[in-house]
Structure 1
Amino acid sequence: MYDLGATRPKEGIPMQCIVPSVSFFVKQRLCKRLRECRDAGLKVRYLIILNLLHGRSAYRTAHVLGVHNTTVYRVANRFREHGEWGLYDAREDNGQTKLSEWFLQLLQRLVRGSPRQYGWRRPTWTRELLVETMARRTTVRIHVTTMSRALALVKARRGRPRPTVRCPWSKAAKTRRLNQIRELLATLPRGHRAVYEDEVDIHLNPKIGLDWMGRGQQKEALTPGQNVKRYLAGSLDVDTGEVLWVESTRKTSALFITLLNKLLARYPDAPVIHVILDNYRIHDSKITQAALRGFGGRIRLHFLPPYCPTSNKVDRVWQDLHANVTRNHTCANMTSLMIEVRYYLRKRNRKAMARACQHSCARRMPRAA
């Protein structure tokens, strides 16, 4: 008997070995069923058999119908063993699908956790590990490729976890402080200014991040022999989105005080400048407190809860800075890298000020009657 698992019939093998010869009346019945059929998949299987019965090779049949060679042999095998009934789709007789709603809900809960919570030593999930865990918990074992479909159905994805530190404050205290800051911004007196403040480290060693590459290729990010750092202290204006920044080779109280002086020079008419910031040590040092007393109360500090970077809006600016400048950069020295940093921040400020001007003009325009 001819091996139907092959991709193409060998030379000299007659077509009758692939499908049995049938009478003229059987061919006529198959043609009639083909015309009456409304199922696209079933039509293709009828056409495969009719092409083979008319003497076409399996390779030519697959080419004409736009299917794979193995599909032709599989359909021919079913027709030879079961006749015309073998052409019908019998998958509904397989019983209920393994990827039931209950199975997918359990898989979704599984992905949210860690393998260690289910007795494994590995800290991250693999498809094989998910298959084994689901088999233990549900007695339903699926293939790894089926697990890929199941993960797509529950909208699971492979991603990098975000490193976080747990806030030592209670949830009530954290919520109370954030509400106080929101109320401050909502009821800011006329003439007062509010800014978010934070520092960022600029490393000559490039931050490694995802990038598009050719198949089988991997880009290289050259690193210097010795890392060099620069520190930026920056503020984000709540109203305009403008970023003010100062630079230094050391992250000390002097860097923070320099930024405060720049804020006073930028907003000379503001009676009070409210600075929303984290509780880093240079923000509350003795040198900083002495400088604040020298400012005559024009600058007030409002501290965020500890380890709460998502509430500091300027942190998003630093993330964009890394994404657009420092990640996978090719600068050979710190001077050229800082030129790119300053160019990005100035360009961002021009866009922010243009948006602020548009919003201001839109508010001043009278409404149409």
Structure 2
Amino acid sequence: MGEKGYEGSGAHSAALEHAGADTPRYAIENPGLPPHRPRLADEDPRAAKRAERQVSVFFLISVIGTVLFFIGYFGVGQIGNDEDFGLLYLQNLLLGLGVALAMLGIGIGVVHWAKTLMPDHETVEERHEIRTEADRAAAQGMIADILDESQIKRRPLLRNTLIGAALLAPLPFIFAFRDLDNTDNFSDRAVNNFGPERLRHTMWAEGVRLVRDPTGSPIKASDVTLGSALHVIPDGLNDVEHGKLNEKAKAVVLVMRLDPSKVDITPGREDWNVDGIFAYSKVCTHVGCPIALYEQHTHHLLCPCHQSTFDLTQECKVIFGPASHALPQLPITVDDEGYLVARSDFTEPVGPVYWERGEQS
């Protein structure tokens, strides 16, 4: 019984193999490309002209977005001061809306151009290596065909609005990077090459008291208990008029107290704390978000933006998340009246890591 079954199975397999030898390899033949369906703009010149105007409108929207950016950047930025939050909100709105319109206008315009005006027929061509001069000439001819199919030569309105939008769109990013220096004098910006060195210095200096944020009350070492965390700014920051928010963004500090025997202190930093009171920059080294959470039992500092976690017992070394650099430590001591004061400024730059960042002061 089993033998017959085996023979039957073998005969069946042989029959299938034999049948397959006399038939095409694929049971379903390649149907080829579907028939081309012309679009309305392909047959109606008025529809094509209307599509051209629509694409140009999108490019003009991009130009308007760039203009809005500059109105917020130069116009609103020169009114009032850093403490006028209404103007700050308006400026941020114009900056964000301007960049969004500048990028979306070009993107949507190009997509609409391709879908309505550029040829949409499908072609299949085998890939081959370009070696001979004839092949190179053929490649140049293909590029010329692409330019012709894009109709960029025949439609000057599209070409001119695209060129205008493309030239203006990068300007917001150029001026935003230029302003990293945060210097009012343009010549200073040029000399400092965008001023990455300015991130190395804050309002902290030798003898500057640590005061509570936002009250400005000084802090004695006896005020900081085990497990506590205080948000601290340098004394005198509240008296700064121009650039106060920018200075605070760089100088804000977290002060915590824990058992110094639990901290792995780097040689040379033994006197940077006061009986287990440590001060670290509150600015995350990933993208600059404020460190907001302190876990008392684990001695971990957590950034709420992207969950970067810093271990206070390892001098705020990164133990989780995208941050790649430990939080800078502020050296502190006490003055004659027992108040916490800074020994110096930070010995390394605060904030997000950048390509020129180093450890030297």
Q: TM-score range by the shorter chain?
A: under 0.3
Name the structure with the higher helix share.
1
TM-score by length of 1: 0.18
TM-score by length of 2: 0.19
